[in-house]
Structure 1
Amino acid sequence: MQFPSPLVPAILVRRYKRFLFDAILDTGEAITGSCPNTGSMLGLTTPGSRIWLSEHDLAGGRKYRHRFEMIEADGTTVGVNTGLPNRLSEEAIRKGMIADLGDYTSILRERKYGRNSRIDLLLKADGRPDAYVEVKNVHFIRKPGLAEFPDTVTERGAKHLQELSDMVQEGHRAVMVYLIQRDDCDRFSICGDLDTAYEAAFRHAQAIGVEAYAVKCLATPEAITPVKAVPFVD
């Protein structure tokens, strides 16, 4: 996925109120911008870090010109925008990186299903069961080479796993995709010590027949690109 224009470098001052950040541009200008990630961003909010921002017109009621897109952490560049993983997962599917999902002829976005929810991607093809694909953004690493999810308790995430399990029991195909917005990893794991309930929901969903895959990406100021699937480890 190419950015419309190269991202703007800056130095992070602080990220706060979930939705906001302060930074200093390379020109010396102090700015406040929007943070498109309401999660904990554990390990990705260190003051003084090099970050990259997208720039936007203030038309249509937009309050802040700059949006937080990437940060340098642990010697690599990490994407933080949680609005991108669905698009990146679709790109990975179309490139054949996720099992046989690329063989489906139609990919629909944000379709209602389950318990008053919306599935991120719905795949369809003649003669095949529909594939319900839920996407989770991943950027958390504690051990070198090991990406983990979640980085905090997520009741909503556990609910999504149960809804995917329901789809399997109704005769459909259900898939979890963990989209890792960094490339310094070669394996992936569910982070059970930070959310035991999510780990239990994941194990139950696997037993029911929900498939799970993890894909890492290369993040640069010009683009974020799915690279390849990485294996799960316990």
Structure 2
Amino acid sequence: MKFATPLREARLIKRYKRFLADIETPDGQVMTIHCPNTGSMRHCLEPGEPLWWSLSDNPKRKLPGTWEVACLRHGRPDSVAPDYALINTARPNALVAEALSENRIAPLSGYTSHRREARLGQRRLDFCLTAEGQQPCWVEVKNVTLLEQPDIGLGMFPDAVSQRATAHLHELMACVARGERAVLLFCVGHTGIRSVMPAADIDPVYARTLQEAYAAGVELFAYGVSLTREHMQLTIPLPVMLEKA
């Protein structure tokens, strides 16, 4: 996914009211931009840390700026390259859609149709993949930005209690029960994360339900994301663990 213009740089002052963030640009301008992330953004909100943001040319937008990426040092000196965390939760589905269209997700290759925001009962799942002569494959995508152990690159999901994420697991289990394929795909939007597991200390219900879903036949995959100011892309598969080794 290539940006029309490179993302802009700034430093975070604070995030507040969930959807707002005050930033300071390199020339000293203080402005408010949109924060497209409803999660807790744990470990991604250190005041003074660098960030990247995009500028919309849509005249109808009240806040033309959007926070895209946090640049995180985790207490390391400025001479050490930061990790990058994908803040904009609208991006993971687009990254997965691009990778599906280019046949870059090996376990999900071979499907000829990739329908987004597909309705399933009373809910929608992120993708429904179909091909002639095959049962549909339902895919739910989750963005992972919570790095709890930087020394070993352990990422966790969710970063706050999420009844919605748990409900999605039940929907995926229902798909398997009908004889259809169901996949939970963690889009790991944090360059410091090398493996993913459920955040049982934050949301034990979700962690328990994820284990139940896996036992019921829901497939679990995780893929990393490369992030630059010019483009972002889904990259390599990462291991998913249900509990600590």
Smaller-chain TM-score bracket = over 0.9
Where do residues 49-128 of structure 1 align in structure 2 (5 Å cutoff)? 49-60=49-60, 62-74=61-73, 75-114=82-121, 116-128=122-134
CA contact (8 A) 1:50 1:71 kept: yes
- Work out whether residues 147 and 192 of structure 2, in 8 Å CA contact, stay in contact via their aligned partners in 1: no
Which amino acid in the other structure matches residue 206 of structure 1? Y
CA deviation after TM superposition for structure 1 residue 97, in Å: 4.6
Give the alignment's TM-score, normalised by structure 2.
0.91
SS of residue matched to 1:135 = strand
Write out per-residue CA displacement over residues 86-133 of structure 1, whole angstroms, 9 at most, x where no aligned residue: 11122333454534312111101111113x111101100011110000
What CA distance in whole angstroms lies between the structure 2 residues aligned with 1:201 and 1:91? Answer: 29
| Distance (Å, rounded) in 2 between the aligned partners of 1:213 and 1:98 | 10
Identity %: 37
Q: Which stretches in structure 1 are left out of the alignment for 5+ residues?
A: none
Q: Which residue of 1 aligns with 2:40?
A: 40
From 161, 171, 193, give the equivalent of 1:163: 171
Contact 1:134-1:176 within 8 A present in 2 as well: yes
* 1:139-173, Cα deviation, whole Å (9 max, x unpaired): 11011211111111101100000011011111111
SS at match of 1:103: coil
One of 146, 156, 161 as aligned partner of 1:140: 146
Give the superposition deviation at 1:184.
Answer: 2.1
Root-mean-square deviation (Å)? 1.3
Does 1:225 find its partner at 2:233?
yes
Q: Which runs of 5+ in 2 are unaligned?
A: 74-81
Q: After superposition, what is the alpha-carbon deviation per residue over 1:211-233, rounded to whole angstroms, capped at 9, x for unaligned?
A: 11011101111111111110122
Q: So what's the TM-score if we normalise by structure 1?
A: 0.95
